[in-house]
Amino acid sequence: MTSNITRRHVVIAGAVVVAVTAFAASADTLATLGRSVGWNEWLSWSLPVAVDVLAMVALIAWFTPGVQKLGQWMTGATVVTSVVLNALGHLVATGHLNVGPGMVIGVSAVPVISMALAAHLAAEVTAPGDHQDDQEVTTDVTAPVTAEVTAPAAKTDRVTVTEPVTSGGSEVTAPVRRKAEKLAADQGGKVTIKQLQDLGLSRRAATVLRRELVAS
């Protein structure tokens, strides 16, 4: 069995490892800070959930149609909050900073704020709207341009082309043009787009070449 490992797989695997490791380190620091302000062993882990998990959810929302701006704002706010709280946690753990009333009040308010933000984000995502990922999106790759190519009545009828008529570019090589000219001459000046497509041209290039042949 052969293994087909691409750069994309390596990047994804590396990103997962970094994310998990960073989350573990941040969660431990935030849990320690939670215990320092009075939470018990179990509830202290609600702080990393309220901050770091919310940051990851907000990051996903950043790329979700309909809530991208809210997700972008929440990602920035939660990341900054996590950085500040991690710094406070390390300062407290190393004895460089004492826990005072202001810190207790500030840290204790984080879960409540996170709960409100999470509820708001969930309400925005589930609210009826024109989210692109909740409906079928149909893309019209053909520009709404109709070009009418009218040839002399003695040679051909009017042909309506329902796609953009642009230069055939490099598709119409000299050998292809000679074959097309010979084909048109053999048929009394008449040649169809389908016949030109059979020479290896796209419909667009065949349309342009047919117009040139008819005009000449």
Summarize pLDDT for 73-86 with one digit per residue, the tens: 999 999 999 999 99
Spatial separation of the C-alpha atoms in residues 85 and 49, rounded to whole Å? 13
Q: What does the buried/exposed string (b/e) look like for 69-108 if buried means 16 or more CB atoms within 10 Å of the residue's CB?
A: ebbeebbeebeebbeebbebbeebeeeeeeeeeebeeebe
Mean pLDDT over 163-192 rounds to 72
- Residue 204: predicted pLDDT: 81
Q: Which of 112 and 199 is assigned the larger pLDDT?
A: 112
Mean pLDDT over 68-72 rounds to 91
Answer yes or no: are the C-beta atoms of 158 and 151 closer than 8 Å: yes
Closest alpha carbon to 184 in 211, 153, 162, 164: 211
Q: Which of 210 and 2 is assigned the larger pLDDT?
A: 210
Answer yes or no: are the C-beta atoms of 191 and 180 closer than 8 Å: yes
- Residue 158: predicted pLDDT: 53
Summarize pLDDT for 96-154 with one digit per residue, the tens: 999 999 999 999 999 999 999 999 999 998 887 655 444 444 444 444 444 444 444 44
Q: Where are the domains of the chain?
A: 7-134, 147-215
Mean pLDDT over 59-70 rounds to 90
Q: Which of 170 and 204 is assigned the larger pLDDT?
A: 204
Question: Above 60 in pLDDT, residue 167?
Answer: no
147 pairs with which residues across the strands?
161
State the chain's mean pLDDT as an integer.
80
Mean pLDDT over 149-174 rounds to 52
- Residue 213: predicted pLDDT: 80
Mean pLDDT over 88-94 rounds to 93
